């Protein structure tokens, strides 16, 4: 006798019988518009420089960056997040190359904006770590500690020069207290109310940033545990979220993505603004390395991790696979 409401009458496997059935009932779908490509541009190089810890990712020249931006447009992704890598001799304690209108990041922003116009959101990392000789995200005080309020003054200037260079969106990633409000005020003061802020709201002090240090030529000594969040905590992410929204954040982010899907889900449930997640360098490197060893199916692993990030609540995902994945989705 058939039983309904329980086995054998109820068989969930009926909805998994074929690819078309699984596609029809899928609860989470990736789309090219969900994706943002992080990209590095290096000053003083004539050819793209491979990043050894991130196979397939390079430090771009100005010309190769423009080509990557056009490929991103053709693939249908939403944005490109730019990180500048200055010549070592141009680094100093204040990160002045980061606010120089002719610094590599500002030059690259102008290049890409001229190349793609408004067909791709041109985003800029707003932080000093690439430009300081000590590698920290802010200005140091006399005792070698990151000076929060002195750093905010530098961020305000940085926001203005990035906006002038053509950024549609700025991404403050330094985790300084009050940074969103200061940056919003700085942008509004120069009549750039149109420039959006993607707040790095929950940015954890993570071991998975390792390959990124090579990508940006980091000069970091010590660590960033006094300003990035402790991986053991989740409540302070919601506190940071409340503060960022009150200060004027247009979008919020959780970084890293994979190890913090619980945080991502909590943030997504708590807000009505777009939520982003950054699948960072270490997450990328792990899959690429395991695939190179033949230990897993690379493409399946890439799509599975991205689907998991979106399922957890991200509307937008920053990933080094953005263009490749978008091409395959299309």
Instruction: With cut-offs at 50, 70 and 90, classify the pLDDT of residue 30.
Output: very high
Q: Which residues, including other chains, have CB under 8 Å from residue 212's CB and lie 6 or more apart?
A: 218, 280, 281, 282
What's the whole-model pTM score? 0.94
- Selected catalytic residue, list 225, 255, 310, 328: 255
Alpha helices in the chain (DSSP H): 19-25, 62-75, 104-116, 148-165, 179-189, 210-215, 235-247, 261-270, 281-292, 298-311, 322-329
Please tell me the predicted confidence (pLDDT) of residue 105: 98
Gap between the Cα atoms of 212 and 91, Å rounded = 18
CB 219 within 8 A of CB 135: yes
Gap between the Cα atoms of 197 and 183, Å rounded = 8
- Selected catalytic residue, list 66, 203, 225, 328: 203
Please write the tens of the pLDDT for every residue from 278-324: 999 999 999 999 999 999 999 999 999 999 999 999 999 999 999 99
Q: How many CA atoms lie within 13 A of 310 on its CB side?
A: 21
Q: Is 255 a catalytic residue?
A: yes
What percent of the chain is modeled with pLDDT above 90?
85
């Amino acid at each position: 006798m058939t039983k309904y409401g329980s086995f054998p009458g109820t068989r969930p496997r009926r909805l998994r019988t074929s690819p078309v059935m699984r596609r029809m009932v899928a609860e989470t779908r990736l789309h090219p518009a969900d994706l943002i490509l992080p990209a590095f541009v290096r000053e003083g190089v004539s050819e793209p420089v491979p990043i050894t810890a991130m196979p397939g990712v390079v430090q771009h020249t100005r010309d190769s960056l423009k080509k990557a931006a056009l490929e991103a447009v053709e693939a249908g992704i939403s944005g490109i997040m730019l990180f500048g890598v200055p010549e070592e001799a141009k680094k100093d304690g204040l990160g002045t190359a980061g606010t120089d209108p002719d610094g590599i990041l500002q030059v690259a922003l102008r290049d890409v904006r001229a190349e793609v116009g408004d067909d791709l959101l041109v985003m800029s990392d707003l932080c000093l770590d690439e430009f300081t000789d000590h590698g920290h995200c802010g200005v140091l005080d006399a005792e070698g500690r990151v000076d929060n309020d002195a750093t905010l003054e530098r961020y305000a200037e940085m926001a203005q020069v990035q906006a002038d260079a053509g950024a549609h969106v700025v991404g403050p990633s330094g985790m300084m207290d009050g940074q969103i409000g200061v940056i919003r005020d700085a942008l509004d003061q120069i009549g750039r109310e149109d420039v959006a802020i993607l707040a790095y709201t929950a940015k954890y002090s993570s071991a998975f940033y390792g390959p990124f240090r090579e990508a940006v030529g980091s000069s970091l000594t010590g660590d960033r545990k006094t300003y990035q969040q402790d991986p053991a905590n989740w409540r302070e992410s919601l506190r940071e979220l409340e503060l960022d929204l009150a200060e004027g954040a247009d979008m919020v982010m959780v970084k890293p993505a994979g190890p913090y899907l619980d945080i991502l889900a909590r943030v997504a449930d708590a807000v009505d603004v777009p939520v982003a997640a950054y699948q960072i360098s270490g997450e990328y490197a792990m899959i690429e390395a395991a695939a190179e060893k033949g230990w897993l199916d690379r493409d399946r692993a890439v799509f599975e991790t991205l689907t998991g990030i979106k399922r957890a609540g991200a509307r937008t995902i920053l990933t080094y696979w953005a263009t490749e994945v978008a091409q395959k989705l299309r």
